[in-house]
Amino acid sequence: DQMRQFRRQHEQLRTVISRVLRPSGQAQADTNRAGEVEKSAMNGADLSAIEQVNVAYENVKEVDCLDVSNDGTAAWEAAIRRYEDQIDRVETQITARLRDQLGGAKNADEMFTIFQRFNALFVRPHIRGAIREYQTQLIQRVKEDIDQLQTRFTNFSEAANERILSTIDIPALSASIIFIRQIDRRLTQYMKRIEDVLGRGWENHVEGRQLKQEGDNFRHKLNTQHIFEEWIAKVQSRNISLTGRVFSIERRQKDGRIALKLKVNFSPDVVTLFKEVRNLKHMGFRIPLKIVNTAHQANLLYPFAISLLESIRTYDSINERIAGKEGINILIASCKRDIQNQLSEGNTLTWESYKMDPYVVKLSETISNYQEKVEELDMVLDRIEVDLAALDTCQYSSATVAALLTSIQKAVDQLSLGNYSNLHHWVENIDKRIEKKLASRVEEAIRLWTLVLTHEEMDDESEEKAVLPALQPIVLEMRVTSQVMYVSPSIEQARAHLLDQLLAWQSVVISQPRISSTRFQLALARDSTEA
C-alpha cells in the first residue's frame, strides 16, 4: 500500500509538473507519451525539472521493494528521503521561476495568467508559502473588482441600457436580462480568478470562504427568473390581440380644430412582444405557449405592418412638404386619388385577410411612385420658378427672353411626358404669369424707347444701366421738283419707319411663342395623320 501510494503521488506530481511547465502555445500532451517526445516540447529549465523528478524516481527504483527486512526497510526509507530532497530542489527551482515571472508581470492581469498556469502546484506547501504575498495582493484586487461590479449593478439604469440596446433592436426586458447576465458572467470570471490564486479547495481558505459567501449573496441578486415571471404576468393581463381592421382613424386637435389622422392599427406592444419572445427563447427561457403563439402571429404580420407604417409615414410626410406649395396639388391629383382609393380598400380589410400580402405590395408601390413623381415635380417647379423670377430682371434681348421661355417650355414638356394631371389648367396659370411679367417688361421698354426718341436725360440709375434701343435716324430732305417743294421721305413714310423700329423693339417680347402643354400631343397627332 505504501509503495502504491508513493507511485500514485509521483505520477500525479510528474504529470502536474509536465503540464504546468509546458509552453502556453503547446497543446497538452498525453501523459503516457515517451520521455523523449515529452521533453522536446519544453525548454531547458523545464527539462531539468522533469529530469530531476525522473532521477529522483530512479533512485527509489534501485531499492528492492520486496525486501521487508530491517535493512530493506532502512534502504527504502533512505531512498524516500533522497527522493523528497530531490523533489524539494525541483520545487525550489519552480518557486524561483514562479516568483521571477510574478515579479516581472506588468499588471494584475498578467499575474492572474501566471497563477492560472501554476495553479495545480499550489498543493505543494513549499510553493504555496513562497507566493503568499502575491496571493494577498491579487485577492485584494478581486475584492475590488467584485465591489466595482456590485456598484455597477446598483447604479444600473434601465432607461440608459434600453436606449443603448434599442439601437440594435433589443427591447427593454431582454436588455435588462442581458445586462444582468453580463454581470453574472463577470462575477463567474472573478470567482475563477480566486480559484486560480488560491488553488483547489479555495472555498475552505479563510479569505476564500468570505469571498465565496459574498459572491453567492451577490449572485442571488442576479437571478432573472422573477423579472421574467413578472413580464409573463404583465403580458397575460394585457390580453394582446391581433384582430381588427388594418387602419383606424384617430382624432387630433390641431390649431384649435379637430383633424382626422389615419393610423395603422398595429400596436407597438405587439412588435415589442415578438422581439422579447425571440430574444428570451435564445436566452433559454421557457415561455407559455399562448404567448409564443401570439408572438408567432405577430412575427407573421410584422412585415406587413412595418410596410404599411412606412407607406403611411411617407405619404404623410410628402403631403406636409407640399402643403405650402401653390399649384402642386393640381398636378398630382390623379396620384392622390389612386392612393385614396387604395386606402379606402384597405379600410375594409382585417389582419386575418388573405388579401393582405398583395394589398401591402400594391400600396407600397403606389406610394413609392407618388414619392418619385412629387420629387420630380418639386425639382421641375423649382426650375420654373427660377426662370420666372429671371424674366423680371433679365437683359431685354430676344435671345435672353427666348432662352428663359425655352427652358420653361422644356420643363412643361417634361411634365407632359410624366402624365401629370390637369397640366393644361396649370400651364394656363403659368402662361398668365408669364404674360403679366412680359407685359411689364414691354411697358418699361416702350418708356425707355420714348426717352431715347425724345433725347430726355435718364433720371434713375437703373435706367442708365438698362439696355437702350438703338434708333436709326430718319433724314428728312426738302426737295423742289417742278417748282413744287416737298419733304422726302414724306411724313407718313417717316412715321411708318419710326413705328417699324418701335415694333422691332417690342418684338423682343411679342414675337416669343406662348408656353404650350400640348406640343407632344400635336406632334403625335401629326405623325399619325402622315402615317
Residues in the chain: 531
**C-alpha 91, offset from chain centre:** 57
Contact 123, 201 (CB under 8 A): no
Contact 396, 445 (CB under 8 A): yes
What lies within 8 Å, CB to CB, of 280 at 6+ separation is 173, 174, 177, 228, 287
Q: Which pLDDT does position 43 carry in this prediction?
A: 47
Distance CA 11, CA 19 (A): 12
Q: Which pLDDT does position 25 carry in this prediction?
A: 43
Distances in Å between the Cα of 329 and the Cα atoms of 386, 413, 477 are: 20, 18, 65
Backbone φ, ψ for residue 477 (5° rounding): -110, 140
Q: Which pLDDT does position 368 carry in this prediction?
A: 93
**C-alpha 43, offset from chain centre:** 51
CB burial of 479-511 (b: ≥16 within 10 Å; e: otherwise) equals eeeeeeeeeeeeeeeeeeeeeebbeebeebbee
Q: Is the pTM for the entire model greater than 0.95?
A: no
Partners of 247 in beta bridges: 264
Q: Which pLDDT does position 95 carry in this prediction?
A: 73
Grid cell digits, residue 487? 419733304
* Full pLDDT tens readout for the chain, 531 residues: 667 777 777 777 777 677 666 654 444 444 344 344 334 444 444 557 667 777 777 767 766 666 667 777 777 777 777 777 777 777 777 777 767 766 666 666 777 776 666 666 666 666 666 666 667 777 778 788 888 888 888 887 766 766 777 777 788 888 888 888 888 998 888 888 777 777 676 776 767 788 888 888 888 888 888 889 999 998 888 877 777 888 888 887 777 778 788 888 888 888 888 888 988 998 889 998 988 888 888 888 888 999 999 999 999 999 888 887 877 888 889 999 999 999 999 888 888 888 889 999 999 999 999 999 999 998 999 999 999 999 988 888 889 999 999 999 999 988 888 888 888 999 999 999 999 999 998 888 888 888 777 777 665 545 555 677 777 776 666 777 777 776 777 778 778 888 887 888 888 888 888 888 887 665 545 555 544
Q: Which pLDDT does position 64 carry in this prediction?
A: 66
DSSP states along 443-500: HHHHHHHHHHHHTPPP-SHHHHHSPPP-PPP---EEEEETTEEEEES-HHHHHHHHHH
Apex 422 CA angle, 373 and 386, nearest 5: 60
Grid cell digits, residue 456? 430726355
Strands 257-264, 247-254: parallel, antiparallel or unpaired by DSSP? Answer: antiparallel
Partners of 488 in beta bridges: 477
Distance CA 342, CA 339 (A): 5
Q: Which amino acid is at 171?
A: P
Three-state secondary structure call for residue 394: coil
Three-state secondary structure call for residue 253: strand
Distance CA 347, CA 249 (A): 10
Q: What is the chain's alpha carbon radius of gyration, rounded to the nearest angstrom?
A: 48
Q: What is the DSSP letter of 202?
A: G
Omega within 30 of 0 (cis) for the link into 268: no
Helix-helix angle 268-282:172-198, to 10 degrees: 20
